[in-house]
Structure 1
Amino acid sequence: MEHLVNKRVKHIELSGIRKFFNLVADYDDVISLTIGQPDFDTPAHVKNAGITAIENNYTTYTHNAGFLELREAAANFMNEKYGLSYSPSNEVIVTVGASQAIDCTFRTLLDEGCEVILPSPVYPGYEPLIKLAGGKPIYIDTTNNYFKLTADLIAPYLTEKTRAIVLPYPSNPTGVTLEEHELKEIADLVRGRDMFILSDEIYSELVYGKRHHSIARFLREQTIVINGLSKSHSMTGWRIGLLFAPEEVSKHLLKVHQYNVSCATSIAQKAALEALTEGINDADFMKNAYEERLNYVYNRLVNMGFEVVKPDGAFYLFPSIKKYNKSSFDFALSLVKYAGVALVPGDAFSEYGEGYVRLSYATSMEQLIEAMDRIENYINHLS
């Protein structure tokens, strides 16, 4: 009966990140630096808010967009942190993780054949959602531009079919972000055209030594901002995303969201309220730890001879392995077999990721030290 399955579904693949993670899961004594998940516990006061919600029987449907107090807290968070102003009543939607917010956005915006511009290498979760919505992903190679999708790279790719540009910064898999002047230049390029910016800012609280800027400050009327609590508050399993958009677009996003999931989990919403109010700065402790790990791992990789762009945020490094004359898959698999360290092959992040591997440093310093020692032994073995 497989011939009856939707052709779009049949033609998409499982994430290359997960495929490689599953492939090496049965190897013994492997340090996995593959999955982009914080290694910290959800803050205790946030967990307690979820427990209290259960004990007080807060277990029913909420408003489709999320209960108003949470939307107010989300709007205040974005205003206080990034200078963005959204109306809690009609411009904020609480979603089931940032992934569902992205899915809702593409299904709301895209007609058959619409083009969506993506920086590449890029997180593999966008392409399948674009295709399922009938759109066409257009990749732009950023490997010679410090992994940044800037206005000068975008301009030649704009067509009458362009409906959206995805700006995922800080980036997964590279960790780089866009500076204020770079965002202004993109805003100037796009302003007045019949297209949107989807600004995926899920790592906005994990930016090192500088302030995160959102393109919505410069192009609010054409920007849809995606955020959430998975990375900032180590709440991946709570599945709380946040979607911010001008009212004329938000009312349509809400329809797709409503028929998709009704509402985000009521219990998780109560925990999210605690995170966005009492825990508004909870990410600071984690960010400081990530930055310490970043500096250690980056210096070790450079000393081993890797070419790598130092990230501005998130918790990934994306070193080049081109000089070793192995495909990214073969390099990653041999690293597992020889040294017991798992990294993600770069081709999981589109064809322009070939020749790189992704390393997540969202694990303990003890594990990172051991992993770097093992990688160094492997590199010496190759030499």
Structure 2
Amino acid sequence: MQRTIRLQLQPSPTQAVALTETSRQFTAAFNLFAQLGWSNSISNATKLHFLAYYAVRAALPELNSNLTNTARAKAAEALRSAFTLRKDRTRIVSMPRSHHCPPRYNVHTFRIDWESQTVRLSLVAGRQTIRFCVPAYATKYVGYAVDTADLLERDGRWFLHVVVTVPAPTIVPSETVVVVDLGLSHPAVTSTRRFLGKKRWKDREGRLFKLRRALQKRNTKSAKRHLKTLRRKQALFRRDCDHVVSKQIVQSVEAGSTIVVENLTNIRKRIKGKRRTATKRRLHSWSFAQLLAFIMYKAQERGGTVVAVDPRHTSQMCSCCGHQARNNRRSRAAFRCLMCSYELHADLNAAYNIVAKYRAQGGISRLSGLPVNQPIVSAPKPLAKG
């Protein structure tokens, strides 16, 4: 399995200038490849190479040829994504363009010496040896084989995001299956009756939204600078929350277990009907894909498996008798079946329904295509009320 660690570089003033110029020329190469590929409707990396490689090399002769090729690969990825989005007639898609495209290095353009904590990079000024420091959380990955690396600059500091290959853990698969219901008010509710996350996160999101709306009304230069800082602060806050929830989910189950989650792909398109403006805003800013990615890589380290199940109608169906009706869910948190008067927290009821869907599919996620060979163990059923 692969992990990415962030190494902070410690360049000299001369090396910092070379890093800045390399980043600038790499960004220019990316934009040239993207422009030529967009105008000729080409996103295939090989075809883009024959179309634009020599033109880009002539425009940027100081840039390393291998870095030029990685800029082409990045441009091809961006073009494929843009062409896919352009197929949706409701979207307005423009040509991919970057102001700061991180240079991507491979085994031919960089080499790391873990003992001396130095890295040898190909820059416009030639090969340079730069010292770096390893953060405490990443020391367990030091010494493993490296794959690629991206060079980034943030507030005058340079970082190298290095991908290392780590051997998978040898953990005996468990028969335990835990279902996780993801939501906006409660970030995660497991079928083992655990409500994960913190309520204060929602309040902080509300305060940040009010502050952002007030700054947008001012429309001054200082307000725009503050908005830029606030946007980054909010993204970091959401990332931290997703890390906390994903860690709680993975640590709440034993090693080697199967974690069943909801497949929330295209959920913004699937949800219809009138919804409050605040709910719409929170739905469109929900980072469920990032949370799922964190759950998957954390579960992989513990020998677990993550599969996806279609969540439609799981909030409206009674997990006791199977009756499905929209009126079963009286409020956001209250569920009461109109047929059998079964009462339960709505998110917990949805988690039990996901268990039933997963069992009905024979332990295979038809959406993600991930098979599970372990026997299925259902979650405990609560006692019905009334």
TM-score (norm: length of structure 2): 0.20
Q: From the CA coordinates, give the structure whose radius of gyration is larger.
A: 2
Q: Which one has the bigger strand percentage? A: 2
Q: TM-score, with normalisation over the residues of structure 1?
A: 0.20
